[in-house]
Amino acid sequence: MDTPWRTLIDVAALHTRLDSGMPTVLLDCGFDLASPGAGEAAWSRGHLPGALYVHLDRDLSGPKGEPGVGFSGRHPLPAREALAATAGRLGIAPGVQVVAYDAHGGPYAARAWWLLRWLGHDAVAVLDGGLPAWTAAGHALDSQASVAIAMAQAPYPLLAPAMPTIDAATLRSRLGAVRLLDARAAERFRGDVEPLDPVAGHIPGATLRWFKDNLLGDGRFKPAAQLRAEFDALASPPHTVVHQCGSGVTACHNLLAMAYAGLEGSTLYPGSWSEWCADPSRPVARG
């Protein structure tokens, strides 16, 4: 029986899996917030054999609204029906193992992981170390344009959301009662700089947990026991923890790290800082 990988998979295990022909959907999630076409261009130059490209804006987010009342952030969640259709188009059906990766330490792959888990798909993992770990192990890349047409399935069955979320109004009402972790870099958290959103700072009561602090120097995740100790010191138990970042993307990296450490059950605030700061009535903290 094919035991599903649910958090991380290492290069050796993935290579063995692919070499043996075990059904696997590979998703290349490479992206650059400053250059939205860069990830797809990099995929076309070289990707894991058979990997399909998924774009953060087109495939892993819903339509972006205009800033103002009702604005839900720079990368709102896709409608569940749209995500189910995307999953089917990519050949993802219940029980099919999915492995997502990127070349940037895993934030975009973690977004794909979280979305598929939210959809109800259990057999999804992130490649530990991503594309750099694959090439460092001596494995080749492919520049052929992989297509999903032959693998396409019907839309994924719509199930109840399997990962909890919280909206801005509910979060505001619970400030001080939840343990809020912010995955952005320290200078953005403090409000020293803000390259992407109109207001600098953070949500009052948030604690900084930069997503890159989940990683070793080579881009792989820290051991599960180490991550567990670090998150236990920051925010515990998991069901009291809410994750956010700039737009609900890198926060998924912290959710993945906690799940890998055996700390499942925490919540994502999808709109994150980009939604929060768009309403001037919401409080802002700096420093």
Residue 163 lies in a domain: no
Same domain? 60 vs 114: yes
CA distance 71 to 274: 9
Say yes or no to pLDDT of 204 above 90.
Answer: yes
Helices (H), 97-179: 107-119, 130-136, 168-174
**pLDDT of 147:** 60
Residue 146 lies in a domain: yes
| pTM as predicted | 0.96
Same domain? 86 vs 23: yes
Residue 141 lies in a domain: yes
Neighbouring CB atoms inside 10 A of 230's CB total: 17
Residue whose pair of structure tokens reads 């995955």 in the numeric block: 183
Place 152 in a pLDDT band, splitting at 50, 70 and 90: confident
CA distance 160 to 121: 11
CATH number of the domain within which 240 lies: 3.40.250.10
Tens of pLDDT, residues 13-60:
999 999 999 999 999 999 999 999 999 999 999 999 999 999 999 999
Tens of pLDDT, residues 246-255:
999 999 999 9
Residue 156 lies in a domain: no
What mean pLDDT value characterizes the chain?
94
Same domain? 146 vs 172: no
Catalytic residue numbers read 245
Tens of pLDDT, residues 65-101:
766 656 888 999 999 999 999 999 999 999 999 999 9
Number of domains in the chain: 2
Residue 161 lies in a domain: no
Same domain? 93 vs 177: no
Q: Tell me the β-bridge partners of 125.
A: 99
Tens of pLDDT, residues 99-120:
999 999 999 999 999 999 999 9
Is residue 218 within 8 A of residue 242, CB to CB? The reply is no
Same domain? 133 vs 173: no
Same domain? 147 vs 173: no
Same domain? 36 vs 134: yes
**pLDDT of 150:** 52
For residue 180, give every residue at least 6 positions away whose Cβ sits within 8 Å of its Cβ, in sequence order, or none. Answer: 171, 203, 205, 206, 207, 241, 242, 243, 244, 269
For residue 196, give every residue at least 6 positions away whose Cβ sits within 8 Å of its Cβ, in sequence order, or none. Answer: 33, 74, 246, 247, 274
Residue 251 lies in a domain: yes
CA distance 212 to 110: 12
Residue 175 lies in a domain: yes
CA 69 to chain centre: 26
Place 3 in a pLDDT band, splitting at 50, 70 and 90: confident
CA distance 48 to 220: 17
Range of the domain at 85: 8-151
**pLDDT of 120:** 97
Share of the chain above pLDDT 90, in %: 90
Q: Is the peptide bond before 283 cis (omega within 30 degrees of 0)?
A: no
**pLDDT of 67:** 65
Find the mean pLDDT for residues 121-142: 97
